[in-house]
Amino acid sequence: MRISVFGCGYLGAVHAAAMASLGHEVVGIDPDAAKIALLSSGRTPFFEPGLPELLTAGLARGRLRFTTDPSEAAAADVHFVGVGTPQRKDGTGADLTYVDQAIADLLPYLRHGALVVGKSTVPVGTAARLAKIVGAVGARLAWNPEFLREGYAVKDTIEPDRLVYGLDAATAEQDAALLDEVYASAIAHDTPRIVTDYATSELVKVAANSFLATKISFINAMAEIAEVVGGDVTQLADALGHDTRIGRRFLNAGVGFGGGCLPKDIRAFAARAEELGRGDSVAFLKQVDEINLRRRQHMVDRVVDSFGGIVHGRRVAVLGLAFKPFSDDVRDSPALDIAVRLNGLGAEVMSHDPEAIPNSRRLHPQLTYTEDLDEALEGAEAVVLVTEWNVYRGLDPVATAAKVARPVIFDGRNVLDPPAWRAAGWTCTGMGR
């Protein structure tokens, strides 16, 4: 099929490359010329395992191209909209500027009968509004939320857990058939497919992210209690997780969730619910957010306490900046936030991350960064692990003790084996254990 993808950020670039790998003829469109130049040469503006290979293959086969020119969408049968919906600068709702702009850019080139497919995470009600705009030129709209995780984006796009089609009841059958053609490979692998209305499809996405965020804040709330009573939240999570109704995934306590999705999505959902007169229904999301943000300060407090209350002038190695491993994304990252807070208190912070230093430096040039893990550890009076990269999980407690000035480590992701570290002379403090 001939496909256009508006927006070549995380979602759009991966979607375009994945669709090309499935045999479709794809053009990715984005107004950012630098991004387009990079993608056209097979490189990615962000770190995502497997994506460069997919891009290179698509470009080489001539099935994938990138442009800043929206008129190149004219030949496509299906137009995906995968632009960002960041948090508004003046509030907690979603900023729909890029979605509206993409639709406006596409509109002059929309053929009668073409299908516009929204993938961006939007406030419920957006699809119905956009359907009227594209309907005016004889095109149709579908909403098809994306559930990809950074770090696994390629796999999640090509082999999704489920497909959700939000469709206009009047044309549902033909629109579903068109989407089935796009996703023929996933359909052939019996991927569950839910065909529904616009509102439900929009809600599925924010409800899923709200549920995941709530699960993480739930276990972090248990971590707060476990700390007071001397319990171990990781054992608690293991025990809870054996109940298959609860499940063990997304029950890892630590410094909390971050990234470009969970934090802004729960805030936007709460803001939208207020507008709908149902703020009370999701009032708990405010607490989910608060519990989450508390974790960062809690970590900072523990580090400061370990120095008797004053961290000024003390050497602290912060291991990790990305909001999670296998990503260079530092949007709303607890790890970067903790480094910034410690630096703000006057600590001599030395930050390390295998991938996220350039993005961190752009946002916080005042921090000191090193790409050399040994250099980060050398002379440190406290080590703070805040992103669970394998290179940190694999640190040897004995060898690491020889590098630091004071063997004190804080495990913000509960991935170290405290007895092994203690046996090597460390004071090892986890989160909620």
Q: Which residues bind ligand UGA (CB under 6 A)?
A: 121, 146-150, 209, 212, 216, 250-252, 254, 256-259, 261-262, 265, 323-324
- Catalytic sites, residue numbers: 261
Cα 416 to Cα 33, 95, 248, 411, 420, distances in angstroms: 43, 39, 18, 7, 8
Assign 282 to helix, strand or coil: helix
User: Measured between alpha carbons, how far is 326 from 337 in angstroms, rounded to an integer?
Assistant: 18
Extended strands (E) in 270-407? 315-319, 348-352, 368-370, 382-385
Name which of 220, 210, 227 is nearest 273 in CA terms.
210
Smaller CB separation from ligand UGA, 114 or 148: 148
Distance CA(258)–CA(322), nearest Å, equals: 9
Q: Report how far residue 305's alpha carbon sits from residue 300's, in angstroms, rounded to the nearest whole number.
A: 9
Read off φ and ψ for residue 330, nearest 5 degrees: -115, 15
Report the alpha-carbon distance of residue 433 to residue 431 in Å, rounded.
6
Non-local (6+) Cβ contacts of 227 within 8 A are: 432, 433
Per-residue burial over 282-299, b = 16 or more CB atoms within 10 Å of its CB, e = otherwise: beebeebbebbbbbbebb
Closest to ligand UGA by CB, 42 or 145: 145
Report the alpha-carbon distance of residue 336 to residue 360 in Å, rounded. 7
**DSSP code of 371?**
S
Please say which residue, 25 or 150, places its beta carbon nearer to ligand UGA.
150
Beta carbon of residue 389, minimum distance to ligand UGA (angstroms, whole number): 11
User: Cα 275–92–431 angle (5° rounding)?
Assistant: 125
- Calculated CA dihedral for residues 31, 10, 219, 423, nearest 10 degrees: -120
β-strand pairing of 368-370 with 348-352: parallel
Whether residue 3 contacts residue 19, with contact meaning beta carbons closer than 8 Å, is answered with yes
Provide CB contacts within 8 A for 57, sequence distance 6+: 20, 21
| SS3 label, residue 156 | helix
In this structure, what are the phi and psi dihedrals at residue 427, rounded to the nearest 5 degrees? Answer: -95, 110
- Taking Cα atoms as reference points, which of 322, 384, 395 lies closest to residue 354? 322
